[in-house]
Amino acid sequence: MLVLVSGLVLLPSCTTPPPPETYPATFHRTSFDQWETVERPDLGLTFEKPKGLRTLGSSTSVLIQLHGVSAQSAFPSDTQYLITVSIDAYSKEEWGTRFGNLSKIDPSIEERARNDAKVRAWVGFKKWAYSFSPEVTMREYHGERYYRRAFTNNTGTIVEINTEYIPRVPEMIAEDDAAIRRIMSSVAPMSNQTQ
């Protein structure tokens, strides 16, 4: 609409900024069609993973992330992962220093656990979280699935494999569970090292 005031033409002002660009939500499901074996001489370990999937880590750890998810946002959002597998190697001394006290439960909390189901669940989860088992075990806690496996190889190194899984696609849980177990079970000492 044009307005004429004292010989001036006034145009309607555009004070509303244009809408910001919106980055769409994304979901990239990792394919389990092809697998490869990775050798990590620095860790003295081998393991399987989906082919082409990049790993992160250092000389004492590996991080494997599957099923990337990002939220719709006005700025590029960080990718979160529904499955995160970590493989860590510790000397016995490092393990004791880092986790020795974490595995202990205060006697007063043990007493509370006898009468409180929530405390009992937490105590059970904590004891499991620092246990040794050469087999893959799983616990559900607060809607997520946690998997772990820990063993000592013949060089005395403690190898701990943990997975956190956020099961958001119900029809894919069985396939995801099988892939998690495959990765975790495949972790093995290189050459002639044995568990």
CB atoms within 10 A of CB 52: 9
> Distance of CA 52 to CAs 70, 152, 191, Å?
21, 29, 24
**What amino acid is encoded at 97 in this protein?**
T
Model pLDDT, residue 169: 87
Model pLDDT, residue 84: 96
Model pLDDT, residue 191: 72
pTM: 0.78
Q: CA-to-CA distance for 64 and 86, rounded, in angstroms?
A: 6
CB atoms within 10 A of CB 148: 20
Model pLDDT, residue 195: 44
Strand partners, 55: 64
Q: What is the mean pLDDT of the chain?
A: 83
Model pLDDT, residue 194: 45
Coil vs helix vs strand at 63: strand
Residue stretches of the chain with pLDDT short of 50 = 1-2, 193-195
